Structure formats: C-alpha cells, structure tokens
Amino acid sequence: MFKLAITLLAAPLALAGAVVPAFAEDDVRSVVVRYDDLNLTSASGRDRLTQRVKNAVEIVCDSRPHYRPTLADRARAAKCEAITMRDADVQLAAVFDGSGAQYADKGGMTVSAR
C-alpha cells in the first residue's frame, strides 16, 4: 500500500514538472520576416508582406500544431496570435508609411511571441 501511495503521489509531481518549462516566461519564439525582395510601393507587395507576417505569427504562436489541439491549446494560440499580430501591425505601419527607415535598411522585421 505504501508503494502505491508513493507512485500515485509521484505521478502528478512528474507531470507538473513537465508542464512548467513549456510556460516559462523567458521562452521567446521569434521569426525574421524578410521583405527586401518586395516592392512595398505596390499593393501586391504590401499584401505579400502582410501575408508573410501572418504566417510568421502562426509559426511563433504554434497555431498549426502537428497534433489535434485541445480547446485550451486553441485558446492559447488565438490569444497569442492577437497579441503578436497587434505588435507586428505597429512594425508594418512603420514600414508602409515610410517612417520606418530603420526597417528598410535591414530588409526584415522580427515577429516574436512569448
């Protein structure tokens, strides 16, 4: 009986240890989105950059996992996408309105999520 109690107690502790690192605050995922090959003065160039950024947001937020996600996983991914896209929209606005000369020099922008 004592061995069974230890085994039952150890299982939740082992699972808790496996989950914590996945939600660590210093776990930052990022993708560099290149656009030096696009003509940003055209609507099609801006659309292509916007689509690249959306794809990068899906990558850093793990919105398309290789398994069937739970509702909690889908909610986490949707929240991550909303926050990350809001941050990326600021960078896109700077690139599109021409005041983002620092981005034009680099030819890329970084999309990142926690």
Q: Report the SS3 class of residue 21.
A: helix
- Sketch the domain layout of the chain as residue ranges: 26-113
- Check residue 87 and give its pLDDT: 92
CA-to-CA separations, 49 to 26, 30, 104, in angstroms, rounded? 28, 16, 13
- Check residue 26 and give its pLDDT: 60
Look up the pTM and report it.
0.66
DSSP string computed for 49-92: HHHHHHHHHHHHTT-S-SS---HHHHHHHHHHHHHHHHHHHHHH
Residues 6+ apart with CB under 8 A from 27: 21, 114
- What string of pLDDT tens digits covers the 114 residues of the chain? 444 344 344 444 444 433 333 444 567 889 999 988 888 888 899 999 999 999 999 999 988 878 888 999 999 999 999 999 999 999 999 888 865 444 445 578 888 887
